[in-house]
Amino acid sequence: MDAVVAAPRALLGRTIVGPASVRIRDGRIVEVTTGEAPPGAEVLSDGLLTPGLVDVQVNGAVGVDFAEVDADGMRSVAEALPSTGVTRFLPTLITAPVDVVIRQARAVLAASAALPDGVGARPLGVHLEGPFLSPKRAGVHDPSFMVEPGPDQISALLNDDTLRRALRMVTLAPEQPGGLEAVRRLVEAGVLVAVGHSDATGEQTRAAADAGARMVTHLFNAQRPLGHREPGVPGVALVDERFTLGLIADLAHVGPDVCRLVFNAAGARVALVTDAVAAAGMPPGRYHLGGADVLLTEDGVPRSPEGTIAGSALTLDRAVRNIVSVGVPMADALASATIVPAEVIGESGLGRLAPGAVADLVWWDDDLRPKKVWVDGRIVFDAAVPAQPVSAGYATAGQ
């Protein structure tokens, strides 16, 4: 039997309209209509209905580091994310030796496969943020583990049957020896390549786009900065329409005025990401990122023992609210957490309320806080129902 959800307002594409109704059958949207709710619909009394949020850079959450994940840990993250509006996420692994990265990726994929149907948000594969990065822009990554993306290293990734089928995204520094050829090989294999942790010049960044790179990982962070003569990575990314721009909108990685500048320059190409680590959704304390210690203090920003920012404790719903708070229209902010990240990883059935799309929905209150979340047409979070401890903890992160 079909289910119909009707709302006073809904995000259709990149526009908020209303009232609107979404008809669901077998976990997919079969019809979207505007106007009066049809008979038998579940009528949402207020707020806004949107697609589920898609986060393409998540290192962990609720005490779980994906570099050390097992089935129970993956389930904890999957159950926690819907309270923040996230219905699909891309587990991310940071720099480690190639053989270790492959082992970690296999563990992530095994833990993902063990998730029962109907439980929480769903993982989308794996994102490797390293080890093909520039030691000049290491950030919190260990430079001693970084290697050039030579033919043997790329073959090691692509020749692993388990990893090849689920490798969705690789962040690399294209200026490194072998970088452009690595971009071409990965793109030919169907992998999204992002420029990140890179000291590339503007010219080298354009060359990466020519080779097939289509994203920039955490714009402005761990990359050659924008200059008025040498545009670096961000300068080219802001004007080259081939790039989708990952943005950590916790207002600490990138300040409010620059976040607004990014949306003014390239708002239709911004993908909000959390870059969340195990500390997300947890109280202040010591956690892991890629197996290394990370300290979360009262300021809510995880840092290495040396004081370097180490991912974030951000949630994607909070990122949306932050972007709205700096003056970006609500529809644009929400599109940056739904349709834009879905499209950049090639998931045309996610991030939209449209016939044929997966029935991942979020009902928001008037303060842009999730009230109810559906994954594949099933309710996986309801703010009116007492939450499990893990989900409740994650929902309060950064609030």
Catalytic one among 199, 275, 317, 360? 275
Q: Per the annotation, where are the binding residues?
A: 129, 140, 197, 218, 221-222, 229, 253, 309-311
Q: CA dihedral in degrees (74, 80, 81, 85; nearest 10)?
A: 160
What CA–CA distances, in Å, run from 317 to 14, 32, 164, 268, 394? 17, 24, 31, 18, 11
Residues in Cβ contact with 215 at an 8 Å cutoff, skipping those fewer than 6 apart? 169, 192, 193, 194, 195, 243, 244, 245, 246, 271, 344
124 residue type, one letter = L
Token code pair at residue 80: 């926690």
Q: Is 65 a catalytic residue?
A: no
Residues in Cβ contact with 251 at an 8 Å cutoff, skipping those fewer than 6 apart? 259, 322, 326
Count of beta carbons in the 10 Å neighbourhood of residue 300? 18
What is d(CA 254, CA 2) in angstroms, rounded to the nearest whole number? Answer: 44
Q: Per the annotation, where are the binding residues for Zn(2+)?
A: 129, 197, 218
- Cβ contact 10:352 at 8 Å: no
Q: Per the annotation, where are the binding residues for substrate?
A: 140, 221-222, 229, 253, 309-311
Q: What share of the chain is helix, strand, coil (3-state, %, to 5)?
A: 30, 25, 40
What is d(CA 372, CA 387) in angstroms, rounded to the nearest whole number? Answer: 12
Exposed/middle/buried for residue 234 (C-beta within 10 Å: 0-12, 13-18, 19+):
buried
Which active-site residues does the annotation give? 275
